[in-house]
């Protein structure tokens, strides 16, 4: 007996089981199948429209993750349609929204006052596999967090972990500021933060144990912080996700990985013996030193794209910065796999401790974007250091910007595209002159694959002669426009970062 010869009731049941991933292919097999599957196709399209991109801020109640759980308890199939989960509303709720959110009763809170609905929701949550029998305690914490809802303790969200433990087809995730705050927790919250983190780890550890596992298809984490001096979150707070077999792309803003015993937030790899499958890491307006970077990239053997912009953070974290040792740390761990690299500076209030002096340890590097300023310090190998804790070896000649080597001599033969960002004549005319000297000769003698050299100048074209003499193309960023964009948007990779992360969330 063929499938289409089965009794209608039985066939309907089988068709229901094809949702969400199999219904379209089945319906297209023949006209008869399409006609029979019409109700399921209609339901499939409706669920896809409503749930493919899901947020927890579409109602006046800000951060209403519990409502998503409620909808899944009503129809478990909802969980399978969520591919993009967005938990951060960049626009702060207005006074009217906050007033609406605080009101009890009304249509939006109907399920919270419905005893039967809440009991069904509780049954679903407490039965979650990742809880390993601790479902009752977990549910009690969800209830407490709901009762204490005031926007001040949103980093405590057992409901969010419970939701993540139900999503087998999630591909893109955006968390929210202060997510977990593992690295900055208070004694009052320590127990529950540890409990939540352990629950998340169990979900992650089981994600690769067969098809259909929660988080088994998560591919990208996108930014959940603003940029700015006072904006900061620990890189540690997303470490648990990094060992997911499916996670290949990480995009973050305002993350810190610095252990300075003061304003920094340390990062350590908390998964001994496990490596990450990340191939692309883009960190905008972040604050990391060489040690923090090493702790991350020593566990990313497949990394091919790395882009980073530095920003001094709260209380002067990394007031002085060392791009020389930073790049060395990246080369030491991922030099043989990196094909695209960007190192730029958003805000640096101090000095360059050691400048970049070579990219030769990236033998496969094809695309590089840099700011002139990352070269404005003595090379690591000189033994000299600038900044608050300056070092000058006895008898050494003090380094000057005239000592910056030609950027062509720093490039591997694999380089294809090179972009240099400058605020010429700042930080120093000599720095740019030193970088560009002999570039034409280097291209002729060594860099035969180098197709494009772009000198990108902020809001001016006064470096035109420098570009011509070096055989480069001058790109005058926002020159002659009425509303000049901020300097930190000038690097091409930063603009592509904004476009790509918006596309991933769409």
**Tokens at residue 136, please?**
């009752």
Provide the pLDDT for residue 190.
75
On whether the CB atoms of residues 121 and 113 are closer than 8 A, the answer is no
pTM score > 0.75 for this model?
Answer: yes
DSSP labels, 371-435: EGGGGSS--GGG--B-STT-B--TTPPPP-GGGPPPHHHHS-TT--EEEEEEBTTBS-HHHHHHH
214 φ/ψ angles, rounded to the nearest 5 degrees: -55, 135
- Collect all residues with Cβ–Cβ distance below 8 Å to 187 and sequence separation of at least 6: none
Rounded CA-CA distance 157/180 in Å is: 8
Rounded CA-CA distance 82/23 in Å is: 16
End-to-end CA distance of the chain: 44
* Three-class DSSP category at 459: coil
Provide the pLDDT for residue 42.
78
On whether the CB atoms of residues 313 and 263 are closer than 8 A, the answer is yes
142, with CB counted inside 10 A (0-12, 13-18, 19+), is buried
Q: Report which secondary-structure segment, H or E, holds 143.
A: helix 135-147
On whether the CB atoms of residues 234 and 265 are closer than 8 A, the answer is yes
Cross-strand pairs, 489: none
On whether the CB atoms of residues 81 and 47 are closer than 8 A, the answer is yes
Provide the pLDDT for residue 368.
99
Provide the pLDDT for residue 66.
93
* Three-class DSSP category at 265: coil
* Three-class DSSP category at 260: coil
Q: Cα-Cα-Cα-Cα dihedral of 8, 9, 12, 14, to 10°? A: -110
DSSP tag of 21: T
Domain ranges, ordered by start, for the chain: 3-50, 53-218, 221-410+488-506
Q: Is the dihedral of CA 245, 249, 255, 261 positive or negative?
A: positive
Q: What is each CA distance from 264 to 178, 235, 279, 319, in whole angstroms?
A: 15, 11, 26, 11
Rg (CA), the chain: 27
Nearest by Cα to 339 from 415, 284, 275, 283: 415
Rounded CA-CA distance 222/237 in Å is: 13
Cross-strand pairs, 313: 317
DSSP tag of 366: -
Rounded CA-CA distance 155/498 in Å is: 25
On whether the CB atoms of residues 166 and 126 are closer than 8 A, the answer is no
Residue numbers of the chain with a pLDDT score lower than 50: 1, 95, 98, 101-106, 152
Q: Is the dihedral of CA 136, 138, 144, 146 positive or negative?
A: negative
Cross-strand pairs, 222: 174
Provide the pLDDT for residue 24.
60
On whether the CB atoms of residues 443 and 450 are closer than 8 A, the answer is yes
Nearest by Cα to 280 from 308, 258, 255, 257: 308
- Collect all residues with Cβ–Cβ distance below 8 Å to 479 and sequence separation of at least 6: 457, 459, 460, 461
Nearest by Cα to 388 from 352, 438, 347: 352
Cross-strand pairs, 384: none
Which residue blocks in 18-94 are alpha helix, DSSP H?
23-27, 31-36, 38-51, 65-74, 78-81
Place of tokens 């008898």: 395
List the Cα angle 393/395/400 in 5-degree steps. 75
Q: Cα-Cα-Cα-Cα dihedral of 435, 438, 442, 443, to 10°? A: 90
Provide the pLDDT for residue 472.
98
Kindly report, residue by residue over 362-419, the tens digit of the pLDDT. Answer: 999 999 999 999 999 999 999 999 999 999 999 999 999 999 999 999 999 999 999 9
**Tokens at residue 283, please?**
């960190």
């Amino acid at each position: 007996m063929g499938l289409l010869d089965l009794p209608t009731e039985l066939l309907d049941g089988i068709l229901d089981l094809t949702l969400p991933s199999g219904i379209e292919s089945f319906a297209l097999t023949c006209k008869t199948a399409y006609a029979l599957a019409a109700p399921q196709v209609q339901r499939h399209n409706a669920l896809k429209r409503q749930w493919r991109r899901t947020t927890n801020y579409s109602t006046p109640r800000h951060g209403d993750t519990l409502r998503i759980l409620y909808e899944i308890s009503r129809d478990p199939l909802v969980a399978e349609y969520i591919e993009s989960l967005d938990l951060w509303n960049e626009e702060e709720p207005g006074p009217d929204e906050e007033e609406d959110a605080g009101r009890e009763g009304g249509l939006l809170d109907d399920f919270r006052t419905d005893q039967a609905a809440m009991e069904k929701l509780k049954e679903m949550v407490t039965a979650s596999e990742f809880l390993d029998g601790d479902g009752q305690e977990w549910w009690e914490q969800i209830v407490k967090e709901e009762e204490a809802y005031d926007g001040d303790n949103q980093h405590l969200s057992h409901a969010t972990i419970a939701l993540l433990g139900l999503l087998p087809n999630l591909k893109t995730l955006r968390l929210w500021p202060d997510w977990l705050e593992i690295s900055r927790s208070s004694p009052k919250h320590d127990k529950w933060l540890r409990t939540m983190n352990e629950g998340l780890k169990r979900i992650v550890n089981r994600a690769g144990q067969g098809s259909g596992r929660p988080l088994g298809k998560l591919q990208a984490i996108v930014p959940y912080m603003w940029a700015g001096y006072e904006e900061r979150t620990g890189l540690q707070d997303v470490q648990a996700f990094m060992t997911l077999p499916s996670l290949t792309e990480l995009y973050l803003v305002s993350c810190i990985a610095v252990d300075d015993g003061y304003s920094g937030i340390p990062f350590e790899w908390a998964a001994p013996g496990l490596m990450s499958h990340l191939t692309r890491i883009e960190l905008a307006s972040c604050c990391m030193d060489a040690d923090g970077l090493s702790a991350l990239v020593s566990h990313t053997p497949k990394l091919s794209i790395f882009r980073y912009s530095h920003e001094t953070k709260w209380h002067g974290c990394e007031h002085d910065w060392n791009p020389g040792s930073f790049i060395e740390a990246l080369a030491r761990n991922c030099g043989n796999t990196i094909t695209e690299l960007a190192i730029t500076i958003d805000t640096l209030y101090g000095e360059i401790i050691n400048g970049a002096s070579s990219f030769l340890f990236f033998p496969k590097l094809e695309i590089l974007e840099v700011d002139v300023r990352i070269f404005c310090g003595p090379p690591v190998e000189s033994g000299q250091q600038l900044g608050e804790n300056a070092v000058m070896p006895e008898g050494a000649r003090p380094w000057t910007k005239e000592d910056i080597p030609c950027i062509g001599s720093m490039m591997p033969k694999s380089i294809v595209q090179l972009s240099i960002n400058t605020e010429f004549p700042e930080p120093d005319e000599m720095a740019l002159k030193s970088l560009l000297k002999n570039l034409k000769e280097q291209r002729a003698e060594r860099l035969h694959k180098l197709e494009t050299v772009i000198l990108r100048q902020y809001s001016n074209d006064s470096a035109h002669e420098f570009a011509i003499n070096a055989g480069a193309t001058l790109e005058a960023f926002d020159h002659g426009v009425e509303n000049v964009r901020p300097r930190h948007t000038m690097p091409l990779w930063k603009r592509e970062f904004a476009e790509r992360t918006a596309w991933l969330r769409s």
